[in-house]
Amino acid sequence: MKHTSSLKRNICKNILLAWMVINLFSCSQYQISKSPGIKESRTWIVMPLENNSNQPLASEKVEAILGASLFSLGVDVHMYPKSRATDLVSILDNQTRKIKADEWLVTQEATYVITGSVNEWQYKNGLDGEPAVGITLELIDKISKISLWKSNGSRSGWGRESLTGAGQIVIEELLDGLNIPDEQ
């Protein structure tokens, strides 16, 4: 009987130690501001995110994840229209994309605009090639153009984790900071 209790205690110690090691080595950093009083209107527009990473088209990937995440929260999400670029210069030209999206935004009816930046979107060098993601989001009142909420987060995932999966975790953590009213 004594041996069984000692074995159980060792198993519990090992589980606790493993949990502490996992938490120690999981590298995430979030700064999430207090959520404003969000109106029940469900119409939000996702505008182009700045791509400050060294990965071409990273912002477009994050915009797609952001739109899907907002939709899953019951938000009526509208994405700015994508241009049909045919040459490399047009594909990588964030300024032209932003100007066209701003022109389109004027014609749209919505309560909120969400934008931000992608600061890191890559696999780290090394044997494991962990994904590294850094994202900043900003919620803007469309009418007054006042910034209502800003938050940022970064995460370095595990060796076999996908870059998209790490990005989705960061976006969901950031959006958890918003008090979006439940659907009626």
Tokens for 179, please give them.
Answer: 């008090």
Tokens for 160, please give them.
Answer: 């076999």
Quick one: 27-175 is in which CATH superfamily?
ABC-type transport auxiliary lipoprotein component (3.40.50.10610)
Would you kindly state where each structural domain of the chain is located, as residue ranges?
A: 27-175
Residue 161: closest CA among 26, 24, 65: 26
pLDDT at 37: 83
pLDDT at 17: 59
Q: Could you tell me which residues come within 8 angstroms of residue 147 by beta carbon, excluding any fewer than 6 positions away?
A: 138, 139, 140
Q: How many CB atoms lie within 10 A of CB 119?
A: 19
Give the SS3 label for residue 169.
helix
Residue 58: closest CA among 123, 147, 129, 144: 123
Q: Could you tell me which residues come within 8 angstroms of residue 31 by beta carbon, excluding any fewer than 6 positions away?
A: 151, 152, 153
Give the SS3 label for residue 80.
coil
pLDDT at 38: 85
Q: How far apart are CA 112 and CA 119, in angstroms?
A: 23
Extract the residue ranges of the chain whose pLDDT is less than 50.
23-25, 184
pTM to 2 decimals? 0.81
pLDDT at 184: 44
